[in-house]
Amino acid sequence: MQSWIMQHWVVLGAGSEMARPFLRRLAGEGASLFLAGRNLADLETLAQDLRLRGAAAAEVVAFDARDSAGYPALVARLAACEGVLNAASFVGAMPDQAAIDADPGLIAGVIADNFTGPATFLSLLAPVLEARGAGVVVGIGSVAGDRGRIGNYVYGAAKAGFATYLSGLRNRLGRRGVQVMTVKPGPVATRMTAGMTLPFMTTPEAVAEDIAQGIAKRRNVIYTARIWGPVMRVIRAIPEPIFKKLSI
């Protein structure tokens, strides 16, 4: 990035465990940060820490993936900033599939948190990024979106929808000089995965490093840990009659 131009980042789901190491990196680079999320008290504490780490500014803003009423005002606030605008979405929720099977009413929230909420916000922000002809958009998808699996197919469907949205947004904004990168993590060691034994587990810090490298290399899609790229190619290639019999 061009260090002599002020970099502004709005980070949706800023309080998530995956977002925090990425935010610390941005603070160390002197970026101006907008921490968007639901738990404003927690985000205020995080903002104070990021200012101490070197952030030019760290402002807390309300963001609820299930309520888009406040999005236009936030986009207007961002549009008033001079410099390069960037956005990252770490928003997501992954209820147990069994809970969703027992109460399909949970599906709407899963879709909003993982897909329609961040997609709606990014769609409102897109014209601002187009007009400036610069910037980065980072969207957190999941390897779960690469193929529907019995253990988390509603979550996977939401992440698949978001990945397809980001692909189209990349096609649109890439023509105007804006990088749009889809990040597909496998299992990450957070509270969401606590107590689980999962293959190729990575850490939030490793995810942040992979995102930073992906931005620097102007990648379109990255997997983290990187081994998930070839793993998911194999899983996608399994014929459906065989895949239906597998418990993966």
Each residue's pLDDT tens digit, 133-157: 999 999 999 999 999 999 999 999 9
What pLDDT sits at residue 122?
A: 98
pLDDT band at 4 (very low <50, low <70, confident <90, very high): low
Q: Residues 160-178: what's their mean pLDDT? A: 98
| Mean pLDDT across 175-196 | 90
Which whole number is the average pLDDT over 19-34?
98
Q: What mean pLDDT comes out for the span 178-190? A: 96
- Give the confidence band of 1 by pLDDT, cuts at 50, 70, 90: very low
Of the listed ranges 10-24, 163-177, 190-204, 213-227, the least confidently predicted one is 190-204
Mean pLDDT, rounded, of the chain: 95
Residue 196 has pLDDT above 90, yes or no: no
What is the average pLDDT across 45-70? 98
Q: What is the pLDDT of residue 5?
A: 83
List, in order, residues 6 or more apart from 231 with CB less than 8 Å away. 143, 186, 200
The Cα 188–Cα 205 span in angstroms is 10
Q: Is the pLDDT of residue 127 over 50?
A: yes
Q: What is the average per-residue pLDDT within 71-78?
A: 98
Provide the pLDDT confidence category of residue 199 given band limits of 50, 70 and 90.
Answer: confident
Catalytic residue numbers read 155
2 confidence band (pLDDT: 50, 70, 90): very low
pTM (2 d.p.) = 0.94
